[in-house]
Amino acid sequence: MYKLIVFVTCQRTGSSISAEIFYRHGMSLGPFSFFQATPEKPLGLCEAIPIFQIDHTLHRIIYGFDEDSIHYKLAGQIMKNRERLRPTISQIKPDLIEHGKQVIQSLIETSSISGFKHPASSLFWFFWSNIFSQLPNLDVYPIFLLRPPSGIAASYARRADKPEFQNAMFDLVEIYLLRMLEIYRNWKGQKSIIRFTDENYQNDLQTAMINCGLKWNKEIYKQYYHPSVTVEINEHVNHPVQGLYEHWLSYCSTK
């Protein structure tokens, strides 16, 4: 039996460091190159290039533009307007499905416990869940990463060096959280939530890791996670995404 850990997340929620810490504890990231990898940082953002490319292809097919290719507010509006036009696997060409199957097969064959993360995968769960269903002896374990919407938006704005992007992000974050919530509610197997906040991150990470069959090592965690790098912002925002995030937190108290 192969265990596949899938990080279900939005951008700027600590997914890169979380995936790296899981990797340092024994989770395989596969035989792939990684997005934004450098000689000094060979894991880059821990996003396998083949999965990154598939998600970007799906983004163009479904939404009509490349992720991060247009202003965040416009992207959020387009995606929100198309929210009801839910794609199905029948709309995807068989060669892309077969390619996705080969990528996941290559990943899980590297170790009994492997995993991947790319935030856009949350939008295309219909595609990835179909791939998972075609692979025998596969135990999928989704991990849902949460961060306050104010922190996500501020992180986006800092990364782009454009403060005006901050308020424009909330429509987009809402789309991700809604899709993630749908996946969470419909998932019948084991799953975990990790809150990317100073108060909860270490304990949530440890619990998820143990549940996945990995042995927790606090020294590894301390070596790779540096809280000073992350600025925690948890302010109430006047947008429906705030209520959605607070609804998510109600699942954390009972998981």
Residue 124 and residue 175: Cα distance in Å, rounded? 12
Instruction: Output the pTM of the full model.
Output: 0.93
Residue 232: predicted pLDDT: 80
Q: What is the pLDDT of residue 255?
A: 46
* CA-wise closest residue to 147 among 67, 60, 234, 85: 234
Structure tokens at 163: 């403060």
Say what the pLDDT of residue 164 is: 65
Inter-axis angle of helices 240-252 and 170-186, nearest 10 = 30
3-state secondary structure (DSSP) of residue 53: helix
Q: Which residues pair with 140 in a beta bridge?
A: 4
CATH 3.90.930.60 fits 2-252, yes or no: no
Q: Are the C-beta atoms of 153 and 170 separated by less than 8 Å?
A: yes
pLDDT (0 to 100) of residue 249? 95
Q: Cα separation of 187 and 183, whole Å?
A: 6
- What is the pLDDT at residue 202? 96
pLDDT 10s digit of each residue in the chain, 255 long? 999 999 999 988 999 999 999 999 999 999 999 999 999 999 999 999 999 999 999 999 888 888 766 766 677 777 877 765 677 898 899 999 999 999 999 999 999 999 999 999 999 999 999 999 999 999 999 999 999 999 998 887 776 666 666 677 888 899 999 999 999 999 999 999 999 999 999 999 999 999 999 999 999 999 999 886 676 888 899 999 999 999 999 998 654
